[in-house]
Amino acid sequence: MRKVVIGLIMQIVAVCSVYAAEPVRIVAFGDSLVHGYGLPSDAGFVPQMQKWLDGQGISASLTNAGVSGDTTAGGAARVSWTLGDGFDAMIVVLGGNDTLRGLDPAQTRSNLNAILTEAESHKVAVLFVGMQAPGNFGADYKTKFDSLYPDLAAAHDVVFFPYYFAGIADRADNPAQLRLVMQGDGIHPNADGVAAIVAAMGPSVVELITQVRR
């Protein structure tokens, strides 16, 4: 009984610590999906996630380190100096441009592994966000690309959100519905799409913050 009570107390402390006064510093590290391509300054992923966390009463401060057009190679090249700013945690959203260009999944895996390893060396907690390849490069390519995300998440023991577009994935088979949440290029979400993505991913960001607070 005593162990059960202690366990419950520890869970309560972990949850309450998310709302502590000192904000957790989080860098959102990625490509145009993080940067906010084609959107007003207050409608991108970072400002909407910040607003979502604020609405939950959670003390966290997000910094936008998204670079439109960035590949995992670009991310690996800049991650060290990005993390030198003293962040507590990082959200990683990279790989979409790799698969749009048909780059070798083995290289994508190597680059993302380097990014996660660098985060470990800086003692920065990570929320690793998965991407999925389209089917136009074949089933083998898609299998290799899609599987590298859960593999790396398990290898590095990080918080994992399986698919960036999970919040709007239910519209994928309905083009009319999908258009309502996407920009005209069919690649980037519009403000409503970002809102749905943030709502789906938000609990994983809370999990990340909880991990930092422990």
Q: How far apart, in whole angstroms, are the C-alpha atoms of residue 22 and residue 64?
A: 19
Q: Express each pLDDT in 111-129 by its tens digit.
A: 999 999 999 999 999 999 9
Structural domains of the chain ordered from first start:
22-213 (3.40.50.1110)
List CB contacts of 44: < 8 A, sequence separation 6 or more. Answer: 34, 35, 36, 37, 64, 66, 194
pLDDT confidence bin for 3, thresholds 50/70/90:
low
Length of the chain in terms of residues written: 214
Q: How far apart, in whole angstroms, are the C-alpha atoms of residue 199 and residue 168?
A: 10
Residue 210 CB: number of other CB atoms within 10 A?
A: 18
Cα-Cα-Cα-Cα torsion 188, 68, 161, 50, nearest 10 degrees, comes to: -90
List CB contacts of 50: < 8 A, sequence separation 6 or more. Answer: 60, 61, 62
Q: What count of Cα atoms within 13 Å lies in the side-chain half-sphere of residue 41?
A: 0
pLDDT confidence bin for 20, thresholds 50/70/90:
low
- Per-residue H/E/C for 122-167: CCCEEEEECCCCCHHHCHHHHHHHHHHHHHHHHHHCCEEECCHHHH
> Is a pLDDT exceeding 50 seen at residue 180?
yes
Are β-strands 24-30 and 89-93 bridged in parallel, bridged antiparallel, or unpaired? parallel
Q: What one-character DSSP code corresponds to residue 169?
A: G
List CB contacts of 22: < 8 A, sequence separation 6 or more. Answer: 59
**Looking at this protein, which amino acid is placed at residue 147?**
S
Share of the chain above pLDDT 90, in %: 88
Q: How far apart, in whole angstroms, are the C-alpha atoms of residue 34 and residue 49?
A: 10
> Is a pLDDT exceeding 60 seen at residue 18?
no
Q: What count of Cα atoms within 13 Å lies in the side-chain half-sphere of residue 177?
A: 8
Mean pLDDT, the chain, integer: 92
